[in-house]
Amino acid sequence: MAVREILLLGNPKLYEVSEAIKEDDLRDLPPVVADLHDTLLEFRRKYGAGRAIAACQIGFAKRLLYMFIDSPVVFINPSLENRSEEMIEVWDDCMCFPDLLVKVMRHKSCTIRFRDLSFKEHTMKLEDDLSELLQHEYDHLDGIMFIDKINPLRRKLLKGKLNDISKCKVDVSYKIKVLK
Ligand SMILES: [Zn+2]
């Protein structure tokens, strides 16, 4: 299919809550999934990172995630359950701003319940890397960007820099590390 443009931090569409997918919508999804695949792999080729993508990152505002690590997994209408009390602190990045890293807290484990392209329900237990990855992607469906997860003081410190960044849209040489 096609490599699509990834919306960048500051785009108001990234802050919208994505709509649930109905069974009738399924027939429209294969081309979107193909585009998510192509876009993810192109990003990985360019930046050497990127394991999953939310459909809203390419402007498709429905509750759909695509992950490709060893094999493709499509998550339709995912929900996160059994979030562990134990938290982990991780460096978080995002394809909507490839050169920005922030430290965030995530649940060390959780369960994701979702439907596949046949609308069949599945659950998957997630630990560590996968747990934090899918918490990040899930946030996109609710219009939450990682930058909103950092504490208000740090966000204030970053704000000036972020405004500059969103003004110039994208400057891939720009890298900010928020140290603990
Ligand atoms: Zn992201």
- For 97-158, give the DSSP string: EEEEEEEEEEESEEEEEEE-TT--EEEEEEEHHHHHHHHHHHHHHTT--GGGGS-HHHHHHH
How many helices (H) and strands (E) the chain has is answered by 3, 8
* Phi then psi dihedrals of residue 157, to 5 deg: -65, -35
- Supply the residues annotated as catalytic: 137
**pLDDT reported for residue 1:** 75
> Beta 97-107 vs 176-177: how paired, if at all?
parallel
- Amino acid letter at 63? R
Q: How far is the CA of 93 from the centre of ligand 1 (A)?
A: 7
Tens of pLDDT along 33-83? 999 999 999 999 998 889 999 999 999 999 999 999 999 999 999 999 999
Predicted pLDDT at 156: 60
pTM of the full structure: 0.84
Q: φ, ψ for residue 70 (rounded to 5)?
A: -95, -30
Centroid of ligand 1 to alpha carbon of 130 (angstroms): 14
Note the pLDDT of residue 103: 78
Distance 53 CA to ligand 1 centre (A): 7
Q: Which residues make up the environment of ion ligand 1, defined by Cβ < 5 Å?
A: 94
Residue 8 CA, ligand 1 centroid: distance in Å: 10
Domain 12-177 homologous superfamily, CATH: Peptide deformylase (3.90.45.10)
The pLDDT assigned to 149 comes to: 58
Tell me how far CA of residue 174 lies from CA of 22, 99, 161, in angstroms.
Answer: 40, 6, 10
Kindly give the parts of the chain with pLDDT less than 70.
99, 146, 148-180
Place of tokens 């410190």: 157
* pLDDT score for 10: 81
Gap from CA of 165 to ligand 1 centroid (Å): 17
